[in-house]
Structure formats: C-alpha cells, structure tokens
Amino acid sequence: MAAIELDGLTKRYGDVLAVDGLDLEVKEGEIFGFLGPNGAGKSTTIDVLLDFVRPTSGSATVMGLDAQADSLAVRRRIGVLPDAFHVYDRLTGRQHLQFVVDSKDIDGADVEAIMDRVSIAEAADRKAGGYSKGMRQRLVLAMALLGDPDLLILDEPSTGLDPNGARQMREIIEAENDRGTTVFFSSHIMEQVEAICDRVAIINRGRLVAVDSIDGLRGQTETVTTLTIDAGGADAEDAAAIRNRIYVTSAALDGDRLEVTLTRDGSKFEVLKALDERGVEIRDFSIDESSLEDLFAEYTTEEQEVPQ
Amino acid sequence: MSTVAVAKKDFRDAVQSRALWGLLVVFVVLSVLLTYSYVEFPDLVSPGTDPSIGGLVFFTAGIVSLFVSLTAIVVCYKAIAGEREIGSVKLLLALPHRRRDVLFGKLLGRMAVLSLALAIGLAVGFGFAFAMLGSLDVVTVLLFLAATLLFTAVYVSVVVGISATTGSTSRATTFAIGFFVVFEFLWDVVPIGAVYVANGFSLPQQMPDWTFLVMQVPPSTAYTGVLTSLLPDVADSLPTQTFAGAGVDAFYAVPEIGFVVLAFWLVVPLAIGYYRFRGADL
C-alpha cells in the first residue's frame, strides 16, 4: 500500500492553477522529498492531504484512505509540521503538547521525553509567544512526533532553524524513518533533500517535472564534472588534444586556465596525465561536480512565465 | 471527546484575554456604584419603590446585557477568523478534529470563559447588594442566573458563528460590531420603518400587532422577556413595564416569546457559520 497517492490532483484558485494534474506515489517506509521553488504548489498539495483545501479535480489518498472523505482517520495516523503555522501565544509549550495528547487520545505519551528530544525541555513552561522562530519550529515538530505516527508530513521543516537545528532536524527525521515511519517533506532547497531522501519529486508551477532517486536524478545530467586546471604553458593545441578525448565534452583555454568538462564516466586523472605528458606544467586544479542544485535550477527556471 | 479537547485548549487560551478582565473590572465597579445609588437614593434611580433584590435584578439586567454583549464581541470575534488569519488553525486541524468539533469546542470554551467572568462579577455585585439590603431571595437570584447564562450562551453563539463565516478578523469585527449596532442600537426604528413601508409609505393611526414581534428580535429585548416570564411577581411589582406586550392582543404577545427569539439566535448564526467554515479552504 502506498503511503501517499495522488491521482490527477488539480487545485484551481480563480484563474490560477496552483496544482495541475499531479500524479505521485510515495511508498511506505521511504523518506520522500517534495521539491520546488516557492509558489510551485507544494503547500497546496500538502493542504489537500490534510483536507485544509478541497481539490478541484483528481484525488489524494493517504495510507489508502481518501484524504477528503476519511480525513479524520488520516489525521489520526499522521504527524504534521505545517507551513506558515502560528503557535498559541498564550499557551506554554507543555500545554501545546498536552493538547495533542488530548486530541489524539494518546495513552502513556511521554511529553517530557519528546521535549527533550527537540531541545525545548527548559522552555516547556514558558508561553510559546515568547519562543524564537526556531523554538516554535521545534515545538511543532514535537507535536508532530507525539504518538508515533505512521507518516510524518513536514512542510519546509528547516524554516527558521540555524545550521545546528537543521542538522538535529535531519537526525530526527532519519531516526523516525529507521523506526519504520514514512517521511514526506517539502523544501525549496535541494541541499536539504539531497542529504536524506530516498526519492525526490520536483514540482514547478503546479506540475511534476521529475520523480526519481537522488542517483537517478544525477544520472539524468550529461555533464557532471568540471575540471579547472591552472596550467602553465598550455596552448590551444593542448586544449584541442584534450577536447578530442572520449568522455570530454568541452575544453576551453582562458590564459593559463584550462576548463575541462567530463561526462560521468570520464577519468579526471587521465586528463591530468595527458596534459603532463604533453609537457604542460600543472600548478593546481579544482573539481566541481555538477550538483543537484544546478539540475534543480535547470528543471525549474526553464520558460518561467508567471501568470499575472 | 474531540470537542472537549478543543474546548479545554480554547478556555486556557481565551481566559488569558486582558480585554476581558479589563471589561470585567469596569463593569463590577459600575454595578457596585449603581447598586449603591439604587439602595441609597431609590427616588433618583427608580422612583416610587422600595429597594428590593427583585428590583435590583431587573436593574442589574440592563448593565449585564451590555456587559455580556460587549465582552462576547471582544472575546469571541477572533474565535475562528483569528485562527485562520494567523495560521494557528493549521495546528488545530492537522490534529484529528472535524470542523464542527472545532466550532463547538470554541463555543463551549468561550462560553466557559464568559460565564466565569460573569459569575465573578455577579458574585461581587450581589454580595454587595446583600450587604446593603440585608436580605437575598435565593430563588430570584438563581432564576436570574439561569436567564443570564442563557443570554450569554446566545451572544457567544452569535459572535462565534459570525467569526466562522470568514478568514479575516477585520471582516469578523465589522460583522460583529454591525450586529450589535443594528440589533441593539438602531432596532427601535426598524418596526416603525417596516410599518411605514407596509402601509404604503405613511404611518397608520395604530401600530399593527406584528410590529410587536419585530420589536422582540434584539437578543437583549428577548433576555428581558425571559426574565419577565421567569420572575412575573418581581416584574409586576416594578413601577415600569419590563415587557411591551401588554397592549397587544395576539397569542405571541407573551414574555415567553423571548425564549423563542433566544433559541433563534442560539442556532441560526452558528448554523450559517458552520456551513461557511465547513466548505472553506483554509
């Protein structure tokens, strides 16, 4: 059974198509990254999963349950960190968690342990209105974790966290996943997704542009490595010789700087060795692997036309 | 269960409203001052009667209805609209609550908050009256409390219902204040206006009986009707009429009409609010 299944999901707000015929399947037990620039339709999709908004057409199921008709049963089994939420300023952190325990009817919930886990134990009895952005994010993560849900839906979980907090968030996501929890999280930053996701979907302007594993996505790019060599005495002939090698897609000389791009199977060492044999003095070199970030940019910046 | 969880959370939140306790202080001071002048200078306040707890009840009712309507607006206009506007409703509805659980939970939570404030205010007010008068009719006070709690429930229901119709607090404010102004301030002219129109744009010699019904529409008028029907002896002993139905010869011209009107206000705005909230994209 799929943890999440979207079938032709469409949501229209007046003239704007926020989500446009989305088909997607998230398997049980995986960490799934939902990636796209701001305004791509990520939050709208998540809002449909939670029955905050109703789809114009198509359907969404969570754990085999219809996200609209069986929403209550869905929300009993999931933990959610929503996007653009606001805490109850006048309630303490502990009261927030108690509300989750009451709402989900959780037996033997260890509120203290959860607060400890997200590092807000010392602020437990302070009003959440006085929490920093990062602390609020941790508090709501704790609310999501209470009661060991089968599926975690996290909308931009790293918002407002410092690098340390973001790392902690990553560790918690991985630990939950190790216990068998499916994790579905959205982000507009590739780096966060790259580090922990089993699979990634990229969405842009409401449409799905790619779904694959991280390695699979990498494999889709032709050129993956750029080798920049500080080469004394290299000339156009050297560059041409390098350019003619297999696996090399380009070699450009700019003064003493030779820039060589290789496909996935190309050997950087072979290039350096060949230059050395031609009597070129290699003073230094650097390697730049084409990142998923570039791929992401490629997927999402093409023919950007913003509907007015 | 779900409703209770929401109500408990909401009570904890709303009971910390500074505006509520500020208003309570103002009204307690006001009611103590008025009680004092009612007992000490009865001719100034209510000529021709001896001060009695019964008289005081109707006298207090006027202050109470103003207090309840104002605090209900202040405490409840954001109940749903406010949560939608700032986004805390996402925390609420990410948990397994139906929208009607949220609405009823809010209703119960805010009713509890207002009832608590009212109980404190009335305890101080009647305690003071007891000290001044030296006697207190327990049954009268209890019936007054029952009617007042019903009236409070009605006002909370109206404002929570209004709050559920929109995701914007400024719109909720406008609707709630608009309701108050139209039904509690301007309503006097509505029956006359209705007759004027119905009579071909002129006023008849005598007002038709149905204008009585139109006059009973404001919740505070219905509250007085309910009090009159619960405490007929007290109402009769007062020099002024508490109920305007005396000269009207119709089956509905009885103080009990107040119960019908309150039931209407208890149910209808909330039902509209629920209908709008249930279908809303958050």
A223 pLDDT more than 80:
no
Identify which of B1, B13, B279 has the shortest CB distance to residue A91: B13
> For B241-255, what is each residue's pLDDT tens digit?
777 766 677 787 888
Which of B78, B95, B277 to mutate: most A Cβ within 10 Å? B95
Partners of residue B2 in chain A, C-beta under 8 Å: 103
Q: Give residues with Cβ within 8 angstroms of B169, minimum separation 6.
A: B77, B78, B81, B82, B85
pLDDT, position A305: 45
A18 touching chain B per CB within 8 A: no
pLDDT, position A26: 96
> For A50-105, what is each residue's pLDDT tens digit?
999 999 999 999 999 999 999 999 999 999 999 889 999 999 999 999 999 999 99
> pLDDT band at residue A152, thresholds of 50, 70 and 90?
very high
Terminus-to-terminus CA distance in chain A, angstroms?
A: 40
A14 touching chain B per CB within 8 A: no
Which region among A94-98, A117-121, A283-287 has the lowest average model confidence (pLDDT)?
A283-287
Under a CB-based contact definition with an 8 Å cutoff, are residues B234 and B58 in contact? yes
Q: Considering chain B, what is the average pLDDT of its residues?
A: 88
Rounded-to-integer distance, Cα A211 and Cα A2, Å: 15
A130 touching chain B per CB within 8 A: no
- CA distances to A71, A147, A176, A233 from A151, rounded to whole Å, are 14, 11, 10, 60
Higher pLDDT, B232 or A152: A152
> For B109-142, what is each residue's pLDDT tens digit?
999 999 999 999 888 888 888 888 887 788 888 9
B210 pLDDT more than 80:
yes
Q: What is the mean pLDDT of residues B218-228?
A: 93
Cβ within 8 Å, pair A87-B8? no
pLDDT, position B140: 87
For the question of an ipTM over 0.90, the answer is: no
- The reported pTM is 0.85
Three-state SS at A246: coil
Task: Look up residue A286 and give its amino acid.
Answer: S
pLDDT, position A308: 40
Closest chain A residue to B18, measured at CA: A90
pLDDT, position A304: 45
